[in-house]
Amino acid sequence: MRRKLFLIFCEALLGVLTASNVFLTSEEEQLLSCVENVLTQHSSPGQNLVVSMPNDEQITNHRTLAPLNRHTSYLTVVGAFLKAINKRTMWPVLISRAYLESVNSFIPHKHHTYVIFVWPEEEKDINNTLGSQLENLKENFESFNRRGIFIIVAIGYEKLSPRNYAKQIVKLMWKGNKITDALVITPSEHRYASNSTSVNVYRKRSSPVFNLYTWSAYESKQCGHVDEVVLIDKWVVEENKGIFVKNARYSPSKSLQNLNGCNVIISTVHFPPSVIMIPNSTDTGRTQYRGVEMEYLLLLSEAMNMTLQFRPGIEGELLDQFARAISEVTHEDVSDIAIGNLMLDPIITSMGDPSIPYMFTSTEWFVPCPKPALRLEKIKAMFTTYVWLLIVLVFILMSVAFWAMARAPWQSIIINSNAYLSLLECLQVTWAILLSVSVPKLPQTHLLRMVFMTYVWYCFAINTVFQSYFISYLAQPGYGAQITTLKEMNESNLIIYNPDLAQQMIFYTSYETYNKIKMPSEISPNYSHSLMRLIRHGDVATLGLPLLTEYLLATEGIFGNYKQYVCTVDEHVVTTWLSIYFAKGNPLLNRVNALLRRCFESGLVDKYKSELMWNTRLENCHKSREHANEASEHMYFVFTLLHMRLAFLMLAAGYALSSLVFLAELVYETHTWR
């Protein structure tokens, strides 16, 4: 009796221990082996591995001796998978689950591989189950990597065929997330009966087979629409060992070398010369898009064999066009690419993925260039006032010196000519020497000759310098002072003439220096109006972009470097790079970046830019006659009598003075004879 009780006790204890230890079925073991092999093939050692599972509220504490329900069994599979992964110590493992709080610490590296387990939940379909896990993963947006490898293990779904719910999973991964590198692992046969309550009951079944499905976004028949998934491999059991039938290693990124003519939808911002809309440019009446940035896109479409489909042009203010183009790509999901002078901005990059920057631009202050100086003004300003006063002083002193030395007691009056005995005659001689003309009589004494020769050499030096500058200023008088700093611009008499867009840009960029500018301001209708007023009147300063300025001058038919017509202050208001924007995770990005580098390095777009500017000037050359006449005035100088006005005025004053002296002498002689 005691022996029987002891045997019963041992059997009960063995049952408790057996029930406490959860054993996996052969099918579950093969599933884990399949996932581990896929993980080994696609994930390098040392890269972050994220394991995600549903938040199953049905899992509660159960009695130890009770058979495990299905939901507890799913967790058992995940636990066994984590245990096996930890033993291999190849990847840092992170666990994601809805009820777990997200790690707030910053993770500097993007996650590389995701293993997502999905199974049926009460009152939730597969879209809700997988969608909630993706939203939980995206909470760590710094480390969430849409271009990582996603391995979705779907178990426990009996209502749909494996291909159908693999297609359903791929649709959810693509729509709103743009995840393409996804592998869906599903059992090829439904192993669990819908009314079963235990999964630990052993039954004889055929060897377990698991299917691996994936999808390519831009196959010729799909083109961004999930119409069909591809069965790339199967996991089967042969001789108690699981193997892949094809052992294929599939990489969806390879299919992006050729898009097979698929449509890629483009949202544009009409911002010449980056994007130029040419309406009704073809026989079909369609709008053609060209421009400097569009040339990059056209080169990409040719290299990737994709068809560009443009959304209708966005009407309204330029800022509204920017916002709408970004929204259509990042939020509305109606476009694949946004282009058109889109800056590499941290706010925009938080919503979408930018390409590598391919154009540099800056916002600068444009001011009038210095005008050619007036020739007569330059001649008058040849010597300073002090130099002119010294010349007059030397002239008077030398006249007095000639007169004093000629009348000195030790000088013979007979030897010296009468030309040096009168002060008036000495002034005449000194004036003749200064003008480099002959004198009526040379001095006779040695002392007077020495002083005379000294003054001659002095006048020769002064006249040589004067004539050199005189001829130079007649040929090229030079230019006025150029405005090069904000301080000089602030002290000028210019008016700030900016369009409303520039004023908004100043506000958004927190351009604090603008508050220090104490200049009157006016609002311009657009930048073209501001630029034309700057060129024609030269009374305003405006904010602008160099490339846009060059293009607007080309539309006026103005040839040559645009810096001949407008000048800039030596300070950039905003400097930035321009990029193409994609939705987060768009698989086109990496291929586009590689091609953009080649386009940038080859200089193809620079060549197109030069051709665009030249063709635009030729098309508008009829507008350039006025500007050509203005420019030709500065190419050569016609010397006329008008330019000798100052000399003739001095000559007329001299003749008038001589006439007055002559009349005075006549009156004097008349009264003397009487």
pLDDT tens-place string over residues 619-632? 888 776 655 555 55
Domain membership of residue 43 (yes or no) is yes
Are the CB atoms for 242 and 212 separated by under 8 Å? Answer: no
Q: Provide the pLDDT for residue 510.
A: 79
Q: Provide the pLDDT for residue 251.
A: 63
- Give the least confident one: 193-207, 320-334, 519-533: 193-207
Q: Please state, as a whole number, how many other Cβ atoms lie within 10 Å of the Cβ of residue 187.
A: 22
Residue 269 sits in the same domain as residue 248: no
Q: Provide the pLDDT for residue 557.
A: 84
C-alpha span between 280 and 144 (Å, rounded): 44
Among candidates 54, 67, 56, which has minimal Cα distance to 15? 67
Binned at pLDDT 50, 70 and 90, residue 6 comes out as very low
Residue 180 sits in the same domain as residue 234: yes
Domain membership of residue 102 (yes or no) is yes
C-alpha span between 361 and 358 (Å, rounded): 10
Residue 245 sits in the same domain as residue 280: no
C-alpha span between 516 and 530 (Å, rounded): 22
C-alpha span between 664 and 661 (Å, rounded): 5
- Give the least confident one: 211-220, 555-564, 631-640: 631-640
Q: CATH no. for residue 331?
A: 3.40.190.10
Name the residue with higher pLDDT: 255 or 449. 449
Q: Provide the pLDDT for residue 202.
A: 33
Radius of gyration of the chain (CA): 46
Are the CB atoms for 527 and 548 separated by under 8 Å? Answer: yes
C-alpha span between 627 and 621 (Å, rounded): 10
Binned at pLDDT 50, 70 and 90, residue 383 comes out as confident
Q: Provide the pLDDT for residue 595.
A: 94
Which amino acid is residue 159, in one-letter code? K
- Give the least confident one: 21-25, 35-39, 544-548, 558-562: 21-25
Q: Provide the pLDDT for residue 636.
A: 57
Residue 243 sits in the same domain as residue 268: no
Question: pLDDT digit string (tens) for 461-476?
Answer: 988 888 887 777 766 6
Mean of pLDDT values over 323-343: 93
Q: Which two tokens stand for residue 213?
A: 């499905």
Name the residue with higher pLDDT: 49 or 407. 49
Are the CB atoms for 457 and 482 separated by under 8 Å? Answer: no
* First-residue to last-residue Cα distance in the chain: 186
Residue 153 sits in the same domain as residue 298: no
Binned at pLDDT 50, 70 and 90, residue 305 comes out as very high
Bridge partners of 11, per DSSP, are: none
Bridge partners of 190, per DSSP, are: none
- Count of the separate structural domains present in the chain: 5
Domain membership of residue 476 (yes or no) is no
pLDDT over threshold 60, residue 618: yes
Question: pLDDT digit string (tens) for 81-106?
Answer: 888 888 877 888 888 876 656 555 55
Q: Please state, as a whole number, how many other Cβ atoms lie within 10 Å of the Cβ of residue 594.
A: 11
For 4-134, where are the E strands, in sequence order? 49-52, 93-96, 113-118
Q: Provide the pLDDT for residue 269.
A: 93
Around 84, how many Cα atoms within 13 Å sit in the side-chain half-sphere? 19
Domain membership of residue 480 (yes or no) is no
Are the CB atoms for 554 and 276 separated by under 8 Å? Answer: no
Binned at pLDDT 50, 70 and 90, residue 540 comes out as very high
Q: Provide the pLDDT for residue 42.
A: 81
Residue 516 sits in the same domain as residue 440: no
C-alpha span between 64 and 20 (Å, rounded): 6
Contact partners, residue 58, CB within 8 Å, separation at least 6: 69, 71, 121, 122
Name the residue with higher pLDDT: 66 or 153. 153
Chain mean pLDDT for the chain: 80
- Residues comprising the chain, all counted: 674
Q: Which two tokens stand for residue 639?
A: 């010397």
What is this structure's pTM? 0.74
Q: Provide the pLDDT for residue 71.
A: 61
Residue 334 sits in the same domain as residue 403: no
Binned at pLDDT 50, 70 and 90, residue 578 comes out as very high
Q: Provide the pLDDT for residue 620.
A: 85
Q: Which two tokens stand for residue 148?
A: 């990582």
Q: Provide the pLDDT for residue 15.
A: 45
Alpha-carbon separation of residue 580 from 337, 349, 557, 588 (angstroms): 7, 11, 31, 11
Domain boundary among 205, 227, 252: 252
Mean of pLDDT values over 336-342: 94
Around 599, how many Cα atoms within 13 Å sit in the side-chain half-sphere? 25
Residue 212 sits in the same domain as residue 267: no
Residue 436 sits in the same domain as residue 511: no
C-alpha span between 455 and 134 (Å, rounded): 99
Are the CB atoms for 545 and 575 separated by under 8 Å? Answer: no
Q: Provide the pLDDT for residue 242.
A: 84
pLDDT over threshold 80, residue 280: no
Question: pLDDT digit string (tens) for 188-212?
Answer: 764 433 334 433 433 334 566 889 9
Domain membership of residue 519 (yes or no) is yes
Contact partners, residue 36, CB within 8 Å, separation at least 6: 81, 84, 85
Domain membership of residue 46 (yes or no) is yes
Q: Provide the pLDDT for residue 670.
A: 83
Q: Provide the pLDDT for residue 60.
A: 45
Which domain range does residue 663 map to?
A: 641-673
Phi, psi of 431 (to 5 degrees): -65, -40
Question: pLDDT digit string (tens) for 389-417?
Answer: 998 999 999 988 888 888 776 655 555 55
Domain membership of residue 5 (yes or no) is no
pLDDT over threshold 80, residue 295: yes
Mean of pLDDT values over 242-254: 73
Q: For strands 337-339 and 263-268, give the pairing.
A: parallel
Q: Please state, as a whole number, how many other Cβ atoms lie within 10 Å of the Cβ of residue 554.
A: 22
- Give the least confident one: 17-26, 317-326, 466-475, 609-618: 17-26
Burial of 295 (0-12, 13-18, 19+ CB in 10 A): buried
**Peptide bond preceding 273: is omega within 30 degrees of 0, i.e. cis?**
yes
Domain membership of residue 41 (yes or no) is yes
Residue 236 sits in the same domain as residue 185: yes
Residue located via tokens 């004023």: 503
- Give the least confident one: 11-25, 393-407, 456-470, 510-524: 11-25
Mean of pLDDT values over 163-188: 88
Convert 82-99 into a string of H (helix), E (strand) and C (coil).
HHHHHHHCCCCEEEECCC
Q: Provide the pLDDT for residue 66.
A: 45
Tell me the three state secondary structure of residue 268: strand
- High-pLDDT (> 70) share of the chain, %: 79
Q: Provide the pLDDT for residue 237.
A: 81
Phi, psi of 382 (to 5 degrees): -60, -50
Q: Provide the pLDDT for residue 150.
A: 93
Residue 247 sits in the same domain as residue 268: no
Residue 40 sits in the same domain as residue 171: yes
Name the residue with higher pLDDT: 633 or 323. 323
Domain boundary among 252, 280, 298: 252
Binned at pLDDT 50, 70 and 90, residue 638 comes out as low
